[in-house]
Amino acid sequence: MLPFPYDDPADTIRIGHIMPSSNSWAEPLTYALNRELDGKVTHHFSRIPVLRLGLDGQADAQFQDNTMVEAAKLLADAPLHAIVWNGTSASWRGLEHDLALCAAITKATGLPAVTATTGMYGVYQRHGWKKIGLALPYLEDVSRQLAQEYARQGYEVTGNAFLDISANVEIGAIRQDRMRDLLRAAARGKPDCIAVVCTNFPATALVAEMEAELGIPIVDSIAVTFLEACLAAGVTPRITGWGRIFDTL
């Protein structure tokens, strides 16, 4: 029998994640990020239907608050310490959408709530990073609107590298060499940091390698969501090997 990894289950910090249904990477990478916290923090996942990323009404309807609040309420049936929306749609829809979502989740569950997008902005603010190079898998129009939203929030976009993909399953199948090229393209404008905006884009595993090559910090959505959720639950995740956003906690 394998040893039970928790000294006392009553002391375990539990984080609930609301996930896009077609996402295949955030869960395994979250578990990988959590390895140094095994025995202290656990992650629990619920899904909402999300198949395609776009600006049309049908794509936008996937991200309605009521659907996410119902998923949060199911998660909250377990004893949790925080809930996170593990998706980046507010990066192009507008930050106010995620702020309203967090308030609605907290009202429905009594738990602190954060999102990938609130986490990204939180990292920029903590580090004083204002010039952002975008590395995106999305369609051109989504990428353009995302850059406009960053500008509306007071950030200078030094470059907008994108892959022009709409199907989330295709995003999850991108090969690592293509990710590396995207990060190199986002670095050309010499930003304060590179933002990888998508929680189904597994550049997370390349962050340390590409930060060393490019000399620029990389703010990866999957890593940021893990970080923000831990902080909301009262845990500071001082982990190694996953990039500069953890090295400076």
Per-residue 3-state assignment (H helix, E strand, C coil) for the chain: CCCCCCCCHHHCEEEEEEEECCCCCHHHHHHHHCHHHCCCEEEEEEEECCCECCCCHHHHHHHCHHHHHHHHHHHCCCCCCEEEECCCCHHHHCHHHHHHHHHHHHHHHCCCEEEHHHHHHHHHHHHCCCEEEEEECCCHHHHHHHHHHHHHCCCEEEEEEECCCCEHHHHCCCCHHHHHHHHHHHHCCCCCEEEECCCCCCHHHHHHHHHHHHCCCEEEHHHHHHHHHHHHCCCCCCCCCCCHHHHCC
Q: What is the pLDDT of residue 1?
A: 44
Portions of the chain given CATH number 3.40.50.1860: 128-220
d(CA 220, CA 199): 8
Q: What is the pLDDT of residue 230?
A: 97
Q: Which residues pair with 47 in a beta bridge?
A: 19
9-118+223-241 has which CATH code? 3.40.50.12500
Q: What is the pLDDT of residue 11?
A: 76
Q: What is the pLDDT of residue 151?
A: 96
Portions of the chain given CATH number 3.40.50.12500: 9-118+223-241
Q: What are phi and psi of 11, to 5 degrees?
A: -95, 0
What digits encode the pLDDT tens for the residues 1-55? 445 555 566 678 999 999 988 888 999 999 999 999 998 999 999 988 764 454 5
Q: What is the pLDDT of residue 41?
A: 95
Residue type, 87: G
Q: What is the pLDDT of residue 54?
A: 46
Q: What is the fold, at CATH topology level, of the domain defined by 128-220?
A: Rossmann fold (3.40.50)
Q: Which residues pair with 127 in a beta bridge?
A: none
Model pTM score: 0.91
> For each of the chain's 249 residues, which pLDDT tens digit applies?
445 555 566 678 999 999 988 888 999 999 999 999 998 999 999 988 764 454 555 545 555 667 889 999 999 999 999 999 988 888 888 899 999 999 999 999 999 999 999 999 999 999 999 999 999 998 898 899 999 999 999 999 999 999 998 787 888 889 999 999 999 999 999 999 999 999 999 999 999 999 999 999 999 999 999 999 999 999 999 999 999 999 988
Q: What is the pLDDT of residue 67?
A: 87
